[in-house]
Amino acid sequence: MDMVVKEKAKSILDQYKYKPGPDKESTHYCPGCGHGNVHKMIGEAVDELGVAERAVLMSPVGCSVFAYYYFNMGHIQVAHGRAPAAATGVKRSQPHAIVMSYQGDGDLAAIGGNNILQAANRGENMTVFFINNAIYGMTGGQMAPTTLLGQRTSTTPRGRTRANEGFPIRVCELLASLEAPVYLERVALIDPKTTAKARKAIKKAIQMQVEGRGFSLVEILSPCPTGWKLSPVDSREWIAKNMLPVFPLGVYRDRSKEELPPNEEPKIETVAEALGIETGETATIRKSSAPLPETVRMKVAGFGGQGILFLGEVLAEAGMQAGHRVTWLPSYGPEMRGGTANCHVVISAERIGSPTVTLPNVLVAMNRPSYERFVDDVVDNGMLLYDSSLIEGVPVPERLRSYAIPATQIADSIGNTRVANVVMLGAYLGITGIFTREQALKALRLHIRRPQLLELNEKALDAGMKAASPKK
C-alpha cells in the first residue's frame, strides 16, 4: 500500500529481535495485509506524541499475535479476546503507562465481546485499535462477527446468512450507545485519502489517553487479501464496495474538546492505620485470665433477625478478650434466609480442633424450633439457656442444667426487642463468669455497627446478668 512515510518511525524496530529465524527485517504479514500499515501508523503516532518509553502494547490472539516483534515498546501478549481486561490490569497498576490494545474482529467482537464492552463502559483510560477485516485471518479464513451477509468463508461456505449466523456486528455503533467512551471513529484503508484519516484517528486516540480523557477506540476496515482470496488491489476495492455500506466511516463519539474534571488526590491511609495495628482498638495479647474449667462447645440458635450470628460473634470476641482460644462458625447462605439461624462457638484453653459443634455442652435457644431441633444433642449435664418468653411449656430435660431467661420480655422492657440476644449474653456471663463484664462490653463495642446503640446494649447486658438465676 502506498503511503507517504518520510522516514521509519523510531518506535518501530530496525531489527525484529523477538522474531525467530534468520530474517529479522521483513514482517510476518501477507502481502497487502492491513496490519503492517496500522503498525506503522501507531509507531509514527507514538513518536510524534513522544510516549514510546511509556507505551505498553497488548498483543492479541490473531494474525497480530506477533505485533510485539515490531515495536520498541513494552509488550504484553494476552489470551484470545482478553486484551481489554489485561489492559485494565496494566493501566490500573501503572496509570502513567500508555496502554494500547490491538485486536482483530474475532478477538474483540466475538470471544472478547464482553471484555471490550465492559472496559469501554468503565471508561478505562486506554486506546483500542480494532482491525476489522471481516474474517478470522490467523486460523485460515473462518467467519468473524463482522463477516458480511453472503460473504463466503471456510465456515460459511455458502455465504453468511441472517437465518443461521445473524447480521454483522457494528462495534462503533454498539459502543456509542455507552456513556463512557470519549472517542470512537471508524476509518478504512482504501486509498491515500482514507488512509490519511486513519493516521489522524490513530494519533488522536492515543492523544486522548495522554490527556487522561478515557476510553478511545478506532475501528479500521482493513484488507485481508489472503483470507478474502483477492489481490491486494482488489481487496481495497472490496472494502469500498462491500464493507462501507455496512460499516459507515465516521466519528461516533468525540469528547476531545470537553473540559476535564479536576484531579482529586484521595487521602491514603498507612497499612498500620487501615488495619488498626498500632492505633486501633486491639486486644491485649495475654494468657487466659481465668482458666476455663472445660472447653465450651456452644450452639446458638434462633430465627433470622434475632441477631443469632451477632450473639455468637460477641461471645467469641469476649472469649478472645479474656485470653481464650475461640472459633465462631456460622450456618451461612440460604440456610440463613430460610428463617432459622445458628452458629457454633468454641471457647477453649487448648488449640481448637473441630470448629463444628455437633454435641454441644452449651445450647442457647432463642426460639422454639431451635430448641426442639437441638436440645437432644446437648451432652449430659450440659447447659441450656433458653428464651422463656418465646419458649413456653416445653419439657426441660432433667439431665441438663437449664436456665429460663425471659430475654425477649426483658428486652421489650428496656425498649427494644432486638437486644434480646444481648440479654442472653449477659445471662451467660452472669452464670459462668468466663469473661468479665468489661470484656463483654469491649466485644460489643467492636461488633456493633451503630455506636449510638451501645448504651442500649449495655443496659441489656446488665439486665441479662441480673436475670441469671438457676431455674430449678
Partner 1 sequence: MARKLMKGNKAVIMGAILADCRAYFGYPITPASEIAEAAADYFPRLGRTFLQAESEVAAINMVYGAAATGVRAMTASSGPGISLKQEGISYSAGAELPIVVVDIMRGGPGLGNIAPEQGDYFQVVKGGGHGNYRNIVLSPNCAQEMCDLTILAFELADKYRNPAVILADGYIGQMMEPVDLSIREIWKPEKPWAVDGTSRTQGNLVSSIHLSAEELEVHVEHLFKKYQTVEANEVRYEEYRTEDADVILIGYGVVSRIVLSAVDAARKKGVRVGMIRPITLWPFPTEIIRKRAESVEEFVVAELSTGQLIEDVRLAVEGRKPVRLFRRTGGMVPSAEEIVNILEVREGVA
Ligand X SMILES: Cc1ncc(C[n+]2csc(CCOP(=O)(O)OP(=O)(O)O)c2C)c(N)n1
Asked if 355 interacts with partner 1 (CB under 8 A), we say yes
316 binds, among ligand X, partner 1, none (CB under 5 to 8 A by kind): partner 1
Closest approach of Cβ 46 to partner 1, in Å? Answer: 11
Pairing of strands 216-221, 183-188: parallel
Q: How far is CA 298 from the centre of its chain?
A: 36
Cell numbers linked to 89? 490490569
Within a 10 A sphere around the Cβ of 65, how many other Cβ atoms?
Answer: 18
Cell of 172: 462503533
Q: Report d(CA 178, CA 118) in Å as an integer.
A: 10
139 binds, among partner 1, ligand X, none (CB under 5 to 8 A by kind): ligand X
| Closer to ligand X by Cβ: residue 81 or 426 | 81
Give the nearer residue to ligand X in terms of CB position, either 133 or 402.
133
- Mention every residue, 6+ apart, whose C-beta is less than 8 A from residue 305: none
Query: Does residue number 137 form part of the binding site for ligand X (CB under 6 A)?
Result: yes
Looking at the Cβ atoms of 167 and 332, the one nearer to ligand X is 167
- Residues 159 and 151: beta-carbon distance below 8 Å: yes
- Rounded CA-CA distance 340/306 in Å is 9
Query: For residues 411-440, which are near ligand X according to CB under 6 A?
Result: none
- Pick the piece of the chain touching partner 1 (CB under 8 A) from 236-244, 356-364, 448-456, 463-471: 356-364
Give least dist CB 124 to partner 1, A.
10
Least separation in angstroms between CB 61 and ligand X: 4
Question: What Cα–Cα distance (Å) separates residue 463 from each residue in 405, 417, 421, 466?
Answer: 10, 13, 12, 5
Q: Which residue has the cell 513518536?
A: 47
Q: Is 106 in the site for ligand X (CB under 6 A)?
A: yes
Q: Is 232 in the site for partner 1 (CB under 8 A)?
A: no
Please pick, from the candidates 56, 78, 144, 422, the single residue that binds ligand X as defined by CB under 6 A: 144
Residue nearest to ligand X (CB): 104
Q: Is position 316 an interface residue for partner 1 (rule: CB under 8 A)?
A: yes
Which CB atom, from 411 or from 441, has the smaller least distance to partner 1? Answer: 441
67 binds partner 1 (CB under 8 A): no
Closest CA to 103 of 42, 158, 157: 42
Residue with smaller CB distance to partner 1, 257 or 351: 351
Which grid cell is 374? 437441638
Which of ligand X, partner 1, none does residue 332 bind to, with CB < 5 to 8 Å depending on kind? partner 1
Question: Considering only residues 23-82, where is the footprint of ligand X by CB under 6 A?
Answer: 61-64, 80
Helices 420-432 and 454-467, packing angle to 10 deg: 50
Residue with cell 465450651: 296
Based on its alpha-carbon atoms, the radius of gyration of the chain, rounded to whole angstroms, reads 35
Among the listed ranges 13-21, 103-111, 196-204, 407-415, the one in contact with ligand X (CB under 6 A) is 103-111
Does the footprint of ligand X cover residue 317 (CB under 6 A)? no
56 binds partner 1 (CB under 8 A): yes
Specify the amino acid at residue 183: Y
According to the binding rule CB under 8 A, does residue 181 interact with partner 1?
no
Angle at which helix 420-432 crosses helix 437-447, to 10 degrees, equals 150
**Cβ proximity of 305 and 408 under 8 Å:** no
* Interaction between residue 105 and ligand X (CB under 6 A): yes
Which residue stretch of 99-107, 324-332, 339-347, 405-413 sits at the interface with ligand X (rule: CB under 6 A)? 99-107
317 binds partner 1 (CB under 8 A): yes
Torsion (CA) 360, 362, 363, 364 in degrees, nearest 10: -150
C-alpha cell at 168: 454483522
Q: Are 401 and 468 contacting, i.e. CB atoms less than 8 angstroms apart? A: no
133 contacts ligand X (rule: CB under 6 A): yes
Nearer to ligand X, 43 or 223 (CB): 223
Q: What is the phi/psi pair of residue 186, to 5°?
A: -110, 130
Residue 102 binds to ligand X (criterion: CB under 6 A):
no
- Using CA atoms, how far apart are residues 335 and 330, in angstroms rounded to an integer? 10
Alpha-carbon gap, residue 253 to 386, rounded angstroms: 66
* The binder of ligand X chosen from 34, 43, 74, 104 (CB under 6 A): 104
Pick what 107 binds: ligand X, partner 1, none; C-beta below 5 to 8 Å, kind-dependent.
Answer: ligand X
Footprint on residues 68-87 left by partner 1 (CB under 8 A):
68, 72-79, 82, 85-87
Q: Which does 280 bind (CB under 5 to 8 A by kind): partner 1, ligand X, none?
A: partner 1
Q: Which residues bind ligand X (CB under 6 A)?
A: 61-64, 80, 104-107, 131, 133, 135-139, 144
